[in-house]
Every structure is written in C-alpha cells, then in structure tokens.
Structure 1
Amino acid sequence: MLAVCLASSGAAVVGAGAAHAVDPDRLRPGCVWRTAEDQANHVQTCSWHSESLGREVTVQVRPSDQQPGQTERGVYFLDGLGSTPAYSSWSLPIAGAVQNYSPADNLVMPTGGSGEWMTNWRTAPTGAASAPQWETFLSSELPAYLYSNFDVGQHNNAIVGVSMSAAPAIITGLDHPETFSVMRAYSGYYETDNPLGWLAIPLIQISRSGITNGLWGMWGNPLSPDNNWAHNSVARRLLTQPAPPQTIIVSTGNGTLSPAEIDAQNAAMATIWREHPEQLPAFLLSSADGVLVGGALESAAFGSTLLLQAATTAVGLPVRYRYSSGGHNWLAWGDDAHADAQEVDAALDAAAAGTSTTSTQSPSVTPTSPTPSSPVSPANVERELSSLPTTLPAPVRDAVDTAATAIGSLAPHLAPAFTSAHR
C-alpha cells in the first residue's frame, strides 16, 4: 500500500532496503539491551511513541549481518494473548526464532497488544485511551521506522502470527501484498464471521485481557451493515478474492501432548518431587488445568484449520498446511522452529527471485487454478477433508475422519453459509 512512508523522524523514505554496514551490535536511537542474553543474541529493545497505536510501543529487533549494499528483509513476529509490553515471546529461547532464522534476516518482534487482535479498532478497547490501529502500524509506521533505523526494505517481508495473531498476520499480508510476500500462521482461528466467532473472540478478550467491548469496538457490531468482521475472516477473504500472489503457510497441533511437552511435564514433576514434594498435588492440578485448557484451544484451532484447508483445497488455492501433535503453547510451536525458519526463508528467497515454491507444499494441497473457480459447498468440503493425506499422524488422521463425518451431517445447515461466503 505504501511505496513512500513517513519515518518516525517525519522524513519521507522509499522502500529500497540496501544495507549500510554490518553492525548488528550498534544500538539504534531509543534502543537498549534488555538483558545480557538479548545482547548476546543481538536483540535490541526499541521504544517510541506510536501515532498508529496512540501510545508508546516497544519493538524488539534482531538486525541482520548483511554486507553493505545487500537487500535487507524483515520477518515480523506477532505475539499471542500472553503478550506483555516489555518483550515478545518470540525473543525467548523456547520459541526458537532467534536461534533458527537466518542471520541475513532482520527479526522484528512487536510487544504488547494482548487481546487487541493485532487489527485496526473502531473505538478504544476497555481501559485504553484511543483505538489502536495495529494493521496500520504493521504495514506503514513500523516498516518506515525499520527502514530509517535498520535499513530494512519495505517489500518482500514475512509476517508470522501465533494464536490470537495468526489470522491477523494473514489478513495484514492480504491487505498489503507489496509489503509481505510470506504469511505464516500457527494455531489460529480463521472462520470468524459467524455467530461462533462473534461469541468466541469477545469472550476470549474478556477472560484473558479484560476487554469488554470487543464485540462492537473492534470491527463494529457484526449485525450492522458496515461491520468489518467479514473483511477480517481469513476463510471468507480467501474464498471471495483472486488467489493471493504470496506464500501462505498454516499449521496446528491436534490438542494432544507432543513428545516435547510430555518430556517437559515429566522433568518438572521429577524436580518438584525431588525438591518440594509437598507441592506435588498443586503442581498436578495446575498441570491438568493447563493441559485441558491448552488442549481445548488447540483442538479449536485444529478444527478451524481443517475447515480452512478443505475449503481452500476445494477451490484450488495453494495454501500450505502442516499438522502435528501438540497443545496451545510455546513448547509445541517451537518444536519445529528450524524447519519452519528454513521454509519461510526459502519462500522469501523464491519471492525475491520471482519463482514459486509450491512444489514443497503439503501433499494434500494441489493448486488447480489461479483463482477460486470451483463451487464451495459442504459436499466439496467433506470430500476434501476425507481425502487429506494418510501420511498424517494417526491421532490427527482420526480427528480428520471425525471432522469429515461431522461436516457431512451438518451439510444442510452449512450450505447457506458457504454459499454466502462464495458470493
């Protein structure tokens, strides 16, 4: 959207993005080393007053080690509901981003925004002084700041979201294809423009962030004719517009514990038993609660991802999908950080070279046309769910079969929704 933007200093800048010097350890103005570990990893924590958000914002940046004159690119990481204003969860070792992404990438990690869904609000959320414009910040103000201070180009970047920010990462990319050529989403919820979405998102905002006006304050009353709920529904957007020119990668766990999660639980339990045995009952109760809540959240993301894959595959959209075991937590999301980083970097390289990487996508996705052309119907969706690859892990495959059966039984009720979405 913006070939020319205003940097924080007010000077006009154009998105070229040539590196000036190899100096990832030079603190930029307004930036600090938050911890010794951050300094060792070259992660700067930078703060300034954001016009888009109406408040001070903090963004962590791991600059690249590019040679002078080389083109700079950024990978933007959006945090989830557990975000804090002090640091991004993506900067922590458990996420694996800093350790696994190429040193040629500038890693960009905004902080804060818990419950704000990384989107443009119509009115101020509960407790805020103004309506945050997160998409404007991510697509305009932040790229301008990064270009001015870190030489990061304003084209051919990646945007990555997890949980709360998974769908917004895709939406922001769809709205700004000149800025983002790769969108990566973990454990998100993609069919939001329906009564379930209207109910679930505000309830999550209330319970996790104390935001009580999300139903109407974020995208407008969903029953009003000028609301933005459809615009921010990934499923509806992908089914009603030409195929995007970008790479979209979507992944989810199935809600069951991954090996890494089981090992972590066992190690923690052994430590408690050895050092504080009196705390074991409380630990077990807390762990059970975490497993149940995380499993429920990830199961919902799993179901949403299955529906999205079935619908996009039915119309031939080359979206990549990844399935695994795991709950709704950073142990699961960071488990394949190395492979994830390589896939995003390869997609960025391909976009820069003007080539396609669709041959590396999930075997369940076979692009058949550049634009949605096949009719979207519950029958088509059920068929696509039933034909997902047998190479999926057994628990995932069982859940797919269950979802396919459920879709078939609900077909008469879903038909109007799918027909409306495809108009």
Structure 2
Amino acid sequence: MSAAPVLAEDTMVPAPPPIDPAMTRTGLISQESIGPRRERLNIASAAMRRVITVDVLRGTGIGPRPTLYLLDGVDGEATSGWLSKGKAAEFFADKAVDVVLTSGGAGSMYSDWDRHDAALGLNRWETFLTEELPPIVESLLQSDGRRAIAGVSMGAQAAMMLAQRHPGRFRAVAGMSGCYSTADPLGHAVTTITVASRGGDVENLWGPPNSPEWVAHDSVLGAEGLRGTTIYLSAAPGLPTGADLVAVANSPSVVDALGLVGGGAALEAGARACTERLAARLGELKIPVTVEYQPTGMHTWADFEAELPRAWRVLASALGLPEPK
C-alpha cells in the first residue's frame, strides 16, 4: 500500500538475526558509497555477535561537524524508515551535521536484553549505540564531539532512555511520538505490545514486571538524569491530517488504508498521554523542555516527516548550529 499512510508500527514478525560466535571484536568491516554524501557501513558488533548495518549522511561544509544519531521505530527494516519513508536524506541534504542511522533493531527497544529471544535474537543495542558505534563512526567522520540523539515511536523512547542513562553524552535529545515510562501500567503495556508485535517475549527484555530493570529504564522515574540536556518532545492527538486523508483516498485499497489509520490513531493517542506524563515530571523537577502538541496527526511516517523540522530547530541550537530558517 505505497499510497496509504505508512505506520511506524506494523505486524510483520522478522526471523531472528543469526549469531556468529566467532565475532568477538568490534570494528568497521566495509564502507560503501550509495549516494551523494551518503554511505553504508557494516560494523562487526562483539556485543551482538553479528554485523550491524549503519547508514551515514555526511553534512555540508568543511568539518569537523556535530553528529546526530537518529533512531527508527519498531520496524527495524534493512534500511531505516527515516530514509525509506521519512525523507531524512532530503531534509538533511543542506544541513551541517552528520546523521547516523541504524537498521535491524525490530522490536528491540534499542536496549540490552537479559536473555536471548527466540524471535528477536541477541540484542545488546544500548552497548552498541553508546560504546561500540560512536568511536568507529565519529572517528570516520572526524566529528567535533558534539552529539544529539533523536527518534520516533520506539526510537523516541530509546533516545530518551539512552540520554537519561548516560548523562552528558548527548547535548540534546528529541522524542517524537514516544512512550517514556516503562514501570507504570501504561509504560509496561506499551513496551509489551511493542516487543510482542515482532513476536518477542517481553520477559526476555528486562525480566518479569517486578524486575528492577523495568524501573532502571523508565525515563519518567529517572528524569533527573536528563538535567543539563536540551530536550524536545512532541505528539499529536491521533486525528488524521489532510495529508493522511489524501493518502487514504489515493490508496489502491481504501479499506486497508482506513485500517492503518485506525491503528495510527490509537498509537498516537497513547504517545500523547505518555508525552504529557514525561513533560509533567520534567516540570516538577524544573528541567527545561520544549514540548509541541500538534492539533492533528497520527502515528504515520507522513506525520513524522512533518515533525522532523520542528525537532531539528531545537537540536540544531543545542549543537551550536545556525538556527534553521
């Protein structure tokens, strides 16, 4: 349904990524140019015992430049949805920032799992994103050391979680249409649904619901860790935009497209409630945050694409780049 609104959350269950027990060292295996200022890197991850594909968009101008890590939603496809559906390459084509996009993290919460999962395999994404990947990619890009991280949906939760659990690593964080609690009933439900949507067993993630790991990954409870980080949050109410309705009308299957719209409405309504909860906690702690609630919008890539420029204005300022026009 190429003409229909494309959800960040669908129902495909991937095969578990194969593990190579001999992969005990992390390093860059190959580098390929696939377009103007765009490269694809294959990186051996000792933590996950497999090769992780990473796309890089090199920024404009003469370096060194800051780095933006941009996380995908639950799909975890071979190419990040930000590139295949969210038009990130086009948006950043004239920006003086290097953008790093991972792929293959379907249903993983971009976290380190307690146990290997029969459907989702071995996941050590927090280790990869904070310890293994940055030295490799930032050395290759000759980064200036300024970093930001952003994501949508599952990637929004992960971006906030990584910034909260690693204070000072990122100058700024942006969460678009995410859920940031994990220990309360709403956050536990969202996490369970996210993992289960890809066939995973959520108890392999952080253990049973009473495990301290559920609390340790809760960015509402751990919001103090975000102090000093520039924060952007956004969500919509789940109402279709004009662009969403046009896409439905132009879809080869209007019935199927309307089904996607219904799912997108529910997901975005949940994200709005989650965003309000984190924003309120940051307010209680007197931690500054920029929050934008859109009057319309669902959990679709068309809406995420529209949200990216608003998030970028906040991220760019924190990275010391000129304010976008």
Shorter-chain TM-score: which interval? 0.7 to 0.9
Pairing of 1:114-193 with structure 2 (within 5 A): 114-130=106-122, 132-153=123-144, 155-193=145-183
Pairing of 1:21-420 with structure 2 (within 5 A): 30-34=30-34, 39-40=35-36, 42-67=37-62, 70-84=63-77, 86-92=78-84, 94-101=85-92, 102-130=94-122, 132-153=123-144, 155-206=145-196, 208-211=197-200, 213-214=201-202, 216-224=203-211, 227-238=212-223, 241=224, 244-266=227-249, 268-269=250-251, 272=252, 283-324=253-294, 325-349=296-320
Aligned to 2:20: none
Residues 100 and 341, structure 1, Cα contact 8 Å, conserved in 2: no
Per-residue Cα deviation, 1:303-350 (whole angstroms, up to 9, x for no partner): 111222223223322121111111101100111433332331112117
The AA in structure 1 aligned to 2:69 is Y
Residues 82 and 88, structure 2, Cα contact 8 Å, conserved in 1: yes
The AA in structure 2 aligned to 1:71 is P
Residues 168 and 232, structure 1, Cα contact 8 Å, conserved in 2: no
C-alpha spacing 1:248/1:74, structure 2 compared with 1 (3 Å): same
The AA in structure 2 aligned to 1:348 is L
Instruction: Structure 1: state its 5+ residue gaps.
Output: 1-5, 10-28, 273-282, 358-423
Residues 167 and 233, structure 1, Cα contact 8 Å, conserved in 2: no
| Residue 128 of structure 1: how far off its partner (Å) | 4.9
Q: Could you tell me how far apart the structure 1 residues matched to 2:259 and 2:225 are?
A: 43
Residues 96 and 337, structure 1, Cα contact 8 Å, conserved in 2: no
Residues 143 and 152, structure 1, Cα contact 8 Å, conserved in 2: no
Q: Percent identity?
A: 25
Per-residue Cα deviation, 1:356-375 (whole angstroms, up to 9, x for no partner): x9xxxxxxxxxxxxxxxxxx
Q: Could you tell me how far apart the structure 1 residues matched to 2:308 and 2:234 are?
A: 12
Two-structure CA RMSD over aligned residues (Å): 2.3
Instruction: Structure 2: state its 5+ residue gaps.
Output: 1-24
The AA in structure 1 aligned to 2:309 is H
Per-residue Cα deviation, 1:61-110 (whole angstroms, up to 9, x for no partner): 0122342xx432211011111221x2111123x42322223532111000
C-alpha spacing 1:242/1:112, structure 2 compared with 1 (3 Å): closer
Per-residue Cα deviation, 1:120-158 (whole angstroms, up to 9, x for no partner): 11111223553x2111111111111113322224x3211
Q: Could you tell me how far apart the structure 2 residues matched to 1:234 and 1:243 are?
A: 9
The AA in structure 1 aligned to 2:51 is E
C-alpha spacing 1:242/1:61, structure 2 compared with 1 (3 Å): closer
C-alpha spacing 1:96/1:118, structure 2 compared with 1 (3 Å): same
Aligned residue for 1:300, secondary structure, equals: helix
Tell me: higher relative CO, structure 1 or 2? Use CA pairs within 8 A at least 6 residues apart.
2
Per-residue Cα deviation, 1:252-304 (whole angstroms, up to 9, x for no partner): 111000122123223x15xx4xxxxxxxxxx2220221111110000000111
C-alpha spacing 1:200/1:346, structure 2 compared with 1 (3 Å): closer
The AA in structure 2 aligned to 1:80 is G
Residues 70 and 151, structure 2, Cα contact 8 Å, conserved in 1: yes
Residues 69 and 101, structure 2, Cα contact 8 Å, conserved in 1: yes
Aligned to 2:27: 8
Larger proportion of helix: 1
For normalisation by structure 2, the TM-score amounts to 0.84
| Residue 47 of structure 1: how far off its partner (Å) | 0.9
C-alpha spacing 1:146/1:230, structure 2 compared with 1 (3 Å): same
Larger radius of gyration: 1
C-alpha spacing 1:286/1:129, structure 2 compared with 1 (3 Å): closer
C-alpha spacing 1:168/1:337, structure 2 compared with 1 (3 Å): closer
Residues 26 and 43, structure 2, Cα contact 8 Å, conserved in 1: no
Residues 96 and 338, structure 1, Cα contact 8 Å, conserved in 2: no
Per-residue Cα deviation, 1:198-217 (whole angstroms, up to 9, x for no partner): 344223322x2111x21x21
Q: Could you tell me how far apart the structure 1 residues matched to 2:226 and 2:169 are?
A: 17
Aligned residue for 2:151, secondary structure, equals: strand
